[in-house]
Structure 1
């Protein structure tokens, strides 16, 4: 099976599929951290739109800073929280955030609407405005559902793929830890938070690797 892992620099999902014998290729504007497989450095949308028929499956991780629930507070002026959304001003520190958000929506939906038969798009927990544009996600998954005692919620929009089946429950752990909320601020925080948890990557490969 030929799998495109769009917007991935870590190589974790790509390598999980490769370990099961699939032809998996990652694509991102950044170099791949893992040198264990093929990587295209460039615009994932151009790769998809120039030859979507080449791929059996795509798993995409589009940039979600402007979609996620934690960032909605930066969308509007802090003095306008009591007003209807249509009447709120832009945030004084981030005046282009709505424009950036809508550009991200377009990127997401173009990936989602491409001709590849089986697609999973992963993002952090979205805010309500994002779901108005993107539609509601099909599933929320956590690392603890697949064997690692961590929380890091990932929303999945699925096309032609079944929901992932959890292999563990919270009762399997004495303690569950926050994977990314405790990360200190810094220039690499976004990059560190964006990596797919290894057990989630393995679940993608194991459960969807036989879907085609």
Structure 2
């Protein structure tokens, strides 16, 4: 476990960005930033999938004040925030109460709020479209800036991913593929995430970040942030 992050001098044209990738244990986005020379760290309650020494195991909220240039929160718990789950607030699933559902909503909204309002100049938070109750609980709420698909970035898959952006531009597609026709075997393959069967690992399958999107984040958001900091320091 790594909890110490030495502070670096103000960014210039030599020092790389300090990037925190929150709610990620696979290292996919962290490695994309690392590959471009940035000082990138991931943080999650789970240990890093590959045992990286650039992973902080713990609550991301304990590390938001460590002097980052860019924060990307990839898979915050969103079940109670998104439109698809709003029905459970009124008709809880078996074994749950309404009080528990609303408590989970408040917990998820608090995490989103703390990340969204972190003292970091550039923030990206992944989350599906939210229902009105979630929006009302989030401080300084703004609508998602964009929703992207893996196939916009060269990965043959369907998975709408919403990004809430502060201080960062929307991602530009890098390699748009042509989606297969509905009902074809290829379409079923592209829909593997949505067709994932129920089970203990379904959440991990559905939260996957594709390499094409990760590379676009590092190149576009990282490049934008470096350019902005160089202008500020000039």
Aligned to 1:210: 223
* Closer/same/farther in 2, CA of residues 37 and 12 from structure 1, 3 Å limit: farther
| Pairing 1:64-75 to 2, within 5 Å after superposition | 64-75=78-89
More off after superposition, 131-140 vs 150-159:
131-140
State the distance in 2 between where 1:123 and 1:31 align.
Answer: 22
Aligned to 1:163: 170
Shift of 1:169: 4.0
| Pairing 1:31-180 to 2, within 5 Å after superposition | 31-36=47-52, 38-49=54-65, 51=66, 54-61=67-74, 62-77=76-91, 93-95=95-97, 96-134=100-138, 135=141, 136-169=143-176, 172-175=178-181, 176=187, 177-180=190-193
Ranges in structure 2 where 5+ consecutive residues have no aligned partner: 1-16, 182-186, 226-234
* Closer/same/farther in 2, CA of residues 34 and 127 from structure 1, 3 Å limit: farther
Ranges in structure 1 where 5+ consecutive residues have no aligned partner: 78-89
User: Is 1:187 matched with 2:200?
Assistant: yes
Tell me the TM-score normalized by structure 2.
0.77
Q: Deviations over 1:9-50 (max 9, x none)?
A: 11110011111111100000000113455000011001114x
* Closer/same/farther in 2, CA of residues 117 and 160 from structure 1, 3 Å limit: same
Asked whether the 8 Å contact 1:147–1:167 carries over to 2, the reply is yes
State the distance in 2 between where 1:188 and 1:69 align.
Answer: 22
Asked whether the 8 Å contact 1:3–1:56 carries over to 2, the reply is yes
Tell me the TM-score normalized by structure 1.
0.84
Asked whether the 8 Å contact 1:7–1:26 carries over to 2, the reply is yes
State the distance in 1 between where 2:127 and 2:167 align.
Answer: 18
Asked whether the 8 Å contact 1:125–1:153 carries over to 2, the reply is no
Decide which structure has greater strand share. 1
Q: In angstroms, what is the RMSD of aligned CA positions? A: 1.9
- Which runs of structure 1 show a deviation greater than 2 angstroms over 4 or more consecutive aligned residues? 34-37, 90-94, 124-135, 167-170, 172-176
